[in-house]
Copies of this chain bind each other. A is one copy, B any other.
Amino acid sequence: MSDDSLKESADRVGERMMARIASLYPICRSITGNGVRETLRRIGEEIPLKLHEVPTGTKVFDWEVPREWNIRDAWIKTPDGRKIARFREHNLHVLNYSVPIHEKMDLEKLRPHLFTLPEHPDWIPYKTSYYRDNWGFCLSHNEYLSLPEGEYEVYIDSSLEPGSLTYGELLIPGESEREVLLSCHVCHPSLANDNLSGIALMTELGKWLREQPRRYSYRLLFIPGTIGSITWLARNEEKTERIEHGLVVTCVGDPGAFTYKKSRRGNAFIDRAVLHLLRQRGEPFNEIDFYPYGYDERQYCSPGFNLPVGSLSRSSHGQYPEYHTSADNLDLVDAGSLVASLALYREVVEIIESNTVYVSLNPKCEPQLGKRGLYNQIGGPSGSRVNEMALLWVLNLADGEHDLLDMAERSGHPHEEIRRAAEALEAAELLRRVS
């Protein structure tokens, strides 16, 4: 696998991902509407994303595509005439998918429509009501506590009308039709780590993948959460059998430890590959068994599909205090964390691409490595080089029943070291690939 883009400085790659996040941050996205459309259009300037529009009312398994939501403005005018909870100041202020309203009411009637976070009184929560008509505002708990009695004017200039659901798709073809699925959600408004970091990383990864030689085809989905993956699965059911490995990409920009949530299968190749890399890094990480909640892995891992799709993130779903609040902002993410996340995703791709089953052509006793220049010449193996151990492991396990990942797991050597050893042995005509 050539690696031109690694020549590019990590700093530049990090800055580019940060710039992408900053550019997309102000847009008010939802599961439908112009916010998603604009987001995908901008990604499409970097990678040749195909946009799909699926009309309102389309049946997708047990669901149907909802009306399209768009919003222009929203605010509350207090009894003393101040405008608060202004959408134009922060798009989290409006309950996502709020129906339009323009009414006056007293505080008692308003209260059920106000959402706050008492445990973080300065933060605005992120709330949605996609599938039940409702309206509401999110605000800081401190502001909420300061509201006086009196008459309030409530204004939401939104529309909820027949339209379509938009998602972006990019198939990067490889030698084979077997696919690797990469999926991120694009439905969150101004939230930086939870969804923008995933969008930024997956865009970068897409650019890199297009430049690599590829055995696998890579399918990148930029979709609204839940309804988006359901829609894609319903429209592409026959393609799911090609998916051999997959990852849901999100929350990859904060400085927290890596978290891997396993696929429902629990020991799929993708699970073992990611966990091998995390263990080799030697830093703390979180390994989480599959549970039927979180992001779109819920749909990919539903029993009727049971795809080998895990989720590789840093701080994970619901596990960091800023999750689904205004504090998940540009300060929470940083270029270094994004770059390290991208590097890890690339390493996963490299394991997937390079994994091979070998058979030794000299299975009886060790072949003589010395005469092939593969072995330390002055004997007395009191201090053996790691490289040689990788050679010996590969030879010992090259019985046609172990792939490189098996060898890496059993030996404790990094997959890359095992792969290099295998390639050296193959070059020396000591190994043969099993098709």
Q: Report A's interface with B, CB cutoff 8 A.
A: 60-63, 96, 115, 125-132, 134, 226, 229-230, 233-234, 237, 264, 291-293, 298-299, 301-306, 318, 323-324, 360, 362-368, 370-371, 377-382, 384, 389, 392-393, 395-399, 411
Q: Is the interface of A mostly helix, strand, loop or mixed?
A: loop
Taken together as a complex, chains A and B put the C-alpha atoms of A266 and B264 apart, in Å, by 26
Query: A-B pairs with the 9 shortest C-beta distances?
Result: A304-B363, A304-B364, A128-B379, A292-B396, A303-B399, A292-B392, A62-B367, A127-B380, A230-B365
Residue from the list B61, B377, B399 in contact with A362, Cβ < 8 A: B61
Q: Is the CB of B397 within 8 A of A130?
A: no
Closest to A370 in B: B131
A/B interface sample: 8 pairs, CB < 8 A: A62-B368, A127-B379, A129-B379, A131-B370, A302-B366, A303-B397, A306-B399, A318-B381
Taken together as a complex, chains A and B put the C-alpha atoms of A234 and B389 apart, in Å, by 24
Closest to A231 in B: B365
Pick the most buried of A298, A301, A365, A399: most chain B CB atoms within 10 A of its CB. Answer: A365
- Give min CB distance, A328 to chain B, whole Å: 11
- Give min CB distance, A364 to chain B, whole Å: 4
- Give min CB distance, A410 to chain B, whole Å: 8
- Give min CB distance, A120 to chain B, whole Å: 11
Q: Contacts A304-B365, A397-B303 hold; do A131 and B371 have CB atoms under 8 A apart? A: yes
- Give min CB distance, A130 to chain B, whole Å: 6
Contacts of A389 in B (CB 8 A): 291-293
Residue from the list B132, B298, B380 in contact with A366, Cβ < 8 A: B298
Closest to A394 in B: B292
Q: Is the CB of B293 within 8 A of A382?
A: no
Q: Is the CB of A303 within 8 A of B381?
A: no
Q: Is the CB of A380 within 8 A of B324?
A: yes
Q: Contacts A132-B377, A370-B132, A382-B318 hold; do A292 and B364 have CB atoms under 8 A apart? A: no
Taken together as a complex, chains A and B put the C-alpha atoms of A129 and B324 apart, in Å, by 66
Q: Contacts A304-B364, A396-B292, A411-B291 hold; do A382 and B324 have CB atoms under 8 A apart? A: yes
Contacts of A134 in B (CB 8 A): 377-378
Q: Is the CB of A364 within 8 A of B129?
A: no
- Give min CB distance, A64 to chain B, whole Å: 9
Pick the most buried of A62, A134, A299: most chain B CB atoms within 10 A of its CB. Answer: A62
Q: Is the CB of A363 within 8 A of B126?
A: no
Closest to A294 in B: B381
Taken together as a complex, chains A and B put the C-alpha atoms of A384 and B127 apart, in Å, by 13
Taken together as a complex, chains A and B put the C-alpha atoms of A130 and B381 apart, in Å, by 13
Closest to A384 in B: B293
Contacts of A292 in B (CB 8 A): 366, 389, 392-393, 395-396
Q: Contacts A127-B378, A131-B370, A381-B318 hold; do A364 and B305 have CB atoms under 8 A apart? A: yes
